[in-house]
Amino acid sequence: MRMHRAFLPFAAATAWLALTVAAPAGPSTKIERVISPGGIEAWLVQEKAVPLVAIDFAFEGGANQDPVEKPGVGTMVAALLDEGAGDLDARAFQDRADRNAVELTFRAQRDHLHGSLRVLRERLDTGADLLRLALTAPRFDAEPIERIREQMLTRLRRETTNPNDIASRIWWRTGFPDHPYGRPLNGSLESVPLIVRDDLTDYARRVFARDHLKIGVVGDIDAATLAPLLDRIFGGLPEKADLRPVPPATLGSVGQKVFVELDVPQTVLSFGGLGIPRKDPDFIPAYVINHILGGGSFSSRLYREVREKRGLAYSIYSYLLPLERAALIMGGTQVRSDRADETLGLIQAEIRRLAESGPTADELEKTKSYLKGSYALGFDTSSKIAGGLVQIQLQDLGIDYIERRNDLIDKVTLDDVRRVSKRLLDGGFLVTVVGRSQAQGEKRQGG
């Protein structure tokens, strides 16, 4: 059994604290492009003040590479990568990681499989070797497979009574019924028992390759040291991935409301509509608009109308989700069941008002000031910086994006946000309602 961090030996626990120390970095951080002798590229931010190296990476092909009849394969692969590799079984692999305070994490998302390594500089060789083994020689032994399978099934059973999980699953299934985006990331109670070892090895063989690999590195390491390390970790992977083609996704059922009966004290409202692609010139104005609508927590219009004025919900939010095959705007809240319809009406009215009239000049200036001033908070730890470097590469924004980003925000005009408000918010939303709401005329589904 893997030892929980709370019960690590003192020396390892002390080392673990070093992995969470804040790095003195910000939007002015210098990024170096490092190319290994074997041609593998990484973006590097040197930070010698903390004796830590953080490596984040992502492969194209996440849950969208799951077999049609077996959603959950990518999630199971991610959960098993540190459960034995090479000549190390699960116990030996995790013991070596724990003794050297090496943290390895992996997670499958809709379009990518992400991973990370966090390790003290003095233990970098051990951490690099464990990561190399996990990616190039995962064992997928029978005992860990069954253990992880049971953990996934336990989680899925819990989700059948969780209104947030039900709302999310129904939203994606309804919005993208014939697309990989409509399948559950973590699989289903029906699909997870069907997954066999060959599914896992086939997924790893097809997805783990160098041609769609993005890497961000932060910490006490220079370019000369990093370059050969990249080949050491990733050089044994195939040159090209063998990805199944994934078509563009079209959001369906826009304008519909799907109601799921569930006997819970609070009703969950989830809503989503078409957004704006990340590389579209209108994305930055859309980002500003979303902050005004529901992305600004205490300062947003939805918060003011739903929470501040009427006390209907503790929190309410919206966010932009630019996926590889679809761009979305999403949001949600939890409300008392007998006020769910009233709350949904307020949300829809506020969206219409913003679509028709756009933000005020005062809202625009305050939002721009906040978004520019708060940007540095996304770079206050090594982990955040490494993750940000990978995300910028995945979105193909350019190595100078951090330096340019605030200028892009600053250039957004009132005409821009009024025009883009209509484009972003006037297309309608698919809504899922999970709880005891008794509204009429709703399409009803099971969870």
What are the pLDDT digits (tens) for 65-104?
A: 999 999 999 999 999 999 999 999 999 999 999 999 999 9
38 C-beta neighbours (distance < 10 Å), count: 15
Specify the pLDDT at position 437: 58
Whether the Cβ atoms of residue 434 and residue 163 lie closer than 8 Å to each other: yes
Specify the pLDDT at position 444: 54
Domains of the chain, residue spans: 5-234, 257-444
Average pLDDT over all residues of the chain: 92
CB within 8 A of 430, min separation 6: which ones? 171, 174, 175, 251, 252, 253, 254, 255, 256, 258, 271, 272, 273
Whether the Cβ atoms of residue 69 and residue 84 lie closer than 8 Å to each other: no
Burial profile 55-81: b = 16 or more Cβ within 10 angstroms, e = fewer: bbbbbbbbbbbbbeebbbbbbbbbbbb
325 C-beta neighbours (distance < 10 Å), count: 16
In angstroms, the first-to-last Cα distance of the chain is 33
Residue ranges of the chain whose pLDDT lies below 50: 1-25, 27, 439-442
Q: Amino acid identity of 304?
A: R
DSSP characters for 363-419?
HHHHHHHHHHHHGGGGGSBHHHHHHHHHHHHHTT--TTHHHHHHHHHHT--HHHHHH
CA distances from 163 to 172, 268, 295, 400, 409 (A): 14, 6, 22, 42, 36
Report the alpha-carbon distance of residue 438 to residue 193 in Å, rounded. Answer: 36
398 torsion bin: left (phi>0), alpha (psi -120 to 50), beta (else): left
Pick the CATH number of 5-234 from 3.40.50.720, 3.40.50.300, 3.30.365.10, 3.30.830.10: 3.30.830.10
Does 257-444 match 5-234 at the fold level? yes
pLDDT digits (tens, 9 = 90+) for 236-250: 999 999 999 999 999
Report the alpha-carbon distance of residue 94 to residue 402 in Å, rounded. Answer: 36
Q: Look at residues 268, 276, 430, 426 and name the one whose alpha carbon lies nearest to residue 335.
A: 268
Pick the CATH number of 257-444 from 2.40.110.20, 3.30.830.10, 3.40.50.970, 1.10.10.10: 3.30.830.10
Q: Look at residues 346, 354, 332, 345 and name the one whose alpha carbon lies nearest to residue 426.
A: 354
Whether the Cβ atoms of residue 3 and residue 15 lie closer than 8 Å to each other: no
Report the alpha-carbon distance of residue 180 to residue 192 in Å, rounded. Answer: 16
Specify the pLDDT at position 212: 94
